[in-house]
Amino acid sequence: MTATTDQTAPDQVAAEAGFTRLRVAAVDELTSDSVAVTFALPPEHVEAFRFSPGQHLTLRRVVDGQDLRRTYSVCASAAGGPLRVAVKRLEGGAFSTWVTDALRPGDELEVLPPAGRFGPHLDPARSQRYGLIAAGSGITPVLSIAATVLDVEPDSEVVLVYGNRTQADVMFLEELSDLKDRFPARLQVLHVLSREEQESELLSGRIDGERLERLFATLLPVNDVDEWYLCGPFGMVTGGKQTLLDAGVDPSRVHVELFHADAPPPRPPREHTGDETASTVTVVLHGRTSTLAVDRDGDCVLDRVLATRPDAPYACKGGVCGTCRARVVEGAVEMDVNYALESDELAAGVVLTCQSHPTTDTVRLEFL
């Protein structure tokens, strides 16, 4: 069974939304509940799928007419590595369960080109120290960042703090060991296990603020690190970021990415100055312009756009992946949450349409 067995109307939508059908070259078991999926890239698609460290892919599958989309980070060096993502099975996860249990080499998946700005812009002439903190499947973009830094910046160093329950749960354990063997003087890996005792008590337990403070005081002084990248569960990432900020690290040097966040609470009704609660929203998408009415207290902009433009890009709809990014060029919107955009994007008027609600009578958005 392949991801393209269900051929409903969405085929045309997929093409218009920029999806490309790629063949799966390999499915390799990483742990008992995770696999690495490598895609074959024909020559005509190589340039479109050239990725930067830390970027992700949006995968699409249609099941019984339901459009399922998920984002997974590329987990390979951008300096010549394969187009590969890792998928960990989630309890009740329709997409992840199918990938880990049923996907086989030769199957096909619909894939969007790489996206995201989580990773660094590398310079072979630069010498920096990168601090990477990850837990569980949060290793996927972090592995890409580490491997690419080591390949591209010969004078830079990487220190990775990686949390898991037990050694058996460590994704890419052999690959990390191989990287350490290739770059013994430039890569330091600290495995932190929450359900398995290690020789060092400092590395036995969960990655939380208290443990990070102790690591910073002993093995990983914050002043020795130029850039920080954190990826994993919501609590670890937000807590780790706050611990770094409390230690005096400049916020511009702390970069975070989440794989999941709880849904925001319901929006409270807004006060209005008149009887009209709907705004006129114009969107520019794939070179075409559409105008629609969006209730300021109702659905988000993305959901209203999808009602008439099913080719609009999206994946998580939770403010995490950033696939639905657009720039506000007229009017204003208010976002419920934002876990994907950094300060420079916000300053440039970029918003997540899955979290946006209009606050002015007219709004014009250009999808990116």
Q: Domain of 359: which CATH number?
A: 3.10.20.30
Domain boundary among 111, 137, 161: 111
CA atoms of 122 and 186, how far apart (whole Å):
16
Judge whether 248 lies within some domain: yes
Residue 226 and residue 128 in contact, taking contact as beta carbons nearer than 8 Å: yes
Residues 327, 229: one domain?
no
Residue 98 backbone phi and psi in degrees, to 5? -65, -45
Q: Are residues 153 and 251 in the same domain?
A: yes
- Are 102 and 150 within one domain? no
Final residue in a domain of this structure, among 111, 139, 161: 111
Q: Is residue 52 part of a domain?
A: yes
CATH number of domain containing 134: 3.40.50.80
Same domain as 245, residue 283: no
On whether both 104 and 140 belong to a single domain, the answer is: no
- Whether 348 and 239 map to the same domain: the answer is no
Q: Going along 40-197, which residue ranges are E strands?
A: 56-63, 66-73, 84-88, 108-111, 129-135, 157-164, 187-193
The answer to whether 133 and 230 are in contact (CB under 8 A) is yes
pLDDT of 300 over the 90 cut: yes
| CATH number, domain with residue 88 | 2.40.30.10
Assign 190 a pLDDT band (cuts: 50, 70, 90).
very high
The H or E element spanning position 177 is: helix 173-182
What's phi and psi for 18, nearest 5 deg? 95, 10
Q: Which residues contact 181 (CB under 8 A, 6 or more apart)?
A: none
- Gap between the Cα atoms of 366 and 132, Å rounded: 34
Q: How far apart are the first and last CA of the chain?
A: 34
**Is 324 a domain residue?**
yes
Residue 351 to residues 55, 170, 191, Cα–Cα distance (Å): 18, 35, 36
For residue 29, give every residue at least 6 positions away whose Cβ sits within 8 Å of its Cβ, in sequence order, or none.
35
CA-to-CA dists, residue 217 to 172, 210, 235, 246, 261, angstroms: 28, 11, 21, 13, 30
Q: Classify residue 330: in a domain, yes or no.
A: yes
Shared-domain flag, residues 302 and 359: yes
Residue 123 counted as domain residue: no
Residue 23 lies in a domain: yes
- Lowest-pLDDT range of 155-164, 222-231, 258-267, 336-345: 258-267
Percent of the chain with pLDDT strictly greater than 90? 80
User: Are 235 and 333 contained in the same domain?
Assistant: no
Judgement on whether residues 100 and 139 belong to the same structural domain of the protein: no
The total of structural domains in the chain comes to: 3
Assess whether pLDDT exceeds 70 at residue 12: no
Residue 137 lies in a domain: yes
Cα separations in angstroms, 125 against 119, 122, 128, 254: 18, 9, 10, 22
Is residue 228 included in any domain, yes or no?
Answer: yes
Specify the DSSP element, H or E, that contains 331: none
Locate 138 and state its tokens: 């949060």
What pLDDT sits at residue 194?
96
Residues 149 and 50 in one domain: no
Whole-number pLDDT of residue 14: 56
Residue 188, domain extent: 129-258
Give the domain-ending residue among 48, 82, 111. 111
Q: What is the DSSP letter of 335?
A: E
Residues 92-119: pLDDT tens digits? Answer: 889 999 999 999 999 999 999 999 989 9
**229 sits in which H/E element:** strand 227-232
What are the tens digits of pLDDT across the range 120-150? 999 999 999 999 999 999 999 999 999 999 9
| 246, 148: one domain | yes
Same structural domain for residues 136 and 241? yes
Q: Read off the pLDDT of residues 252-283 as tens digits, 9 standing for 90 and up.
A: 999 999 876 655 566 665 555 555 579 999 99
